[in-house]
């Protein structure tokens, strides 16, 4: 997945919805930095673009038939829009102020900061999330000290999610330390 493909989907979303500002969360939020560094492949493997319209998040769900999973767009292009809400990910306070804007042809995609995305991925804790985080750590785009600092301002879904996120981050700190030796 790359920024060109993402903007092609957002251009179609704009035709259908009239909206030109989208917030991209999840794995592909890393594409907001595509012009700044060589993104590791393990960070762009996803084929679903988790996003919502910035001014009317619920409107994105109206696009699922045309652009979502198993839609004609998905079958033709191999990737799809996955409508989400701003409340979906577990994120630290202030994440909205750290969104990374990228504009093309009258469209703006607002990408989640990689360290904020890492927190959400730690909260979920799936193996593909761990691969994404570790690729980010290796490339230097995810900072464990910064993630650790931001964890203090997260309201987790429950105690289990909080414990999982902290345990997985501690595992990655140990992994990073052993890799450095």
100 and 41 within one domain: yes
And the tokens for 116? 């904020």
Domain end marker among 88, 113, 138: 113
Is the domain of 103 the same as that of 142? no
Number of helices and strands (H, E) in the chain?
7, 5
Helix axes 114-124 and 144-151, enclosed angle (nearest 10): 70
Total domains in the chain come to 2
Q: Structural domain of residue 176, as residue ranges?
A: 115-180
Domain co-membership, 7 together with 86: yes
Are 38 and 103 part of one and the same domain?
A: yes
Please state the pTM of the whole predicted model.
Answer: 0.94
Task: Read off the pLDDT of residues 113-165 as tens digits, 9 standing for 90 and up.
Answer: 999 999 999 999 999 999 999 999 999 999 999 999 999 999 999 999 999 99
Q: Are residues 125 and 99 in the same domain?
A: no
Tokens 């995609």, residue located: 109
Say whether both 109 and 121 belong to one domain. Answer: no
In angstroms, rounded to a whole number, what is the distance separating the alpha carbons of residues 65 and 73? 9
Q: 1: which DSSP letter?
A: -
3-state SS, residue 178: helix
Residues 103-122: tens digit of each pLDDT = 999 999 999 999 999 999 99
């Amino acid at each position: 997945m790359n920024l060109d493909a993402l903007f092609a989907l957002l251009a179609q979303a704009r035709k259908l919805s009239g909206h030109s500002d989208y917030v991209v969360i999840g794995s592909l939020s890393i594409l907001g930095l595509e012009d700044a560094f060589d993104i590791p492949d393990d960070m762009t493997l996803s084929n679903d673009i988790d996003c919502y319209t910035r001014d009317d998040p619920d409107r994105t769900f109206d696009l699922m038939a045309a652009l979502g999973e198993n839609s004609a767009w998905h079958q033709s292009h191999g990737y799809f829009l996955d409508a989400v809400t701003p409340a979906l990910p577990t994120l630290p306070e202030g994440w909205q102020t750290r969104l990374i804007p990228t504009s093309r042809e009258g469209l703006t995609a607002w990408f989640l900061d990689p360290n904020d995305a890492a927190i959400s991925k730690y909260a979920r804790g799936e193996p593909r999330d761990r691969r994404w985080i570790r690729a980010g750590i290796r490339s230097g785009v995810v900072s464990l000290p910064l993630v650790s600092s931001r964890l203090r301002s997260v309201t987790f879904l429950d105690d289990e999610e909080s414990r999982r996120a902290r345990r997985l981050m501690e595992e990655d700190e140990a992994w990073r330390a052993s890799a450095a030796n």
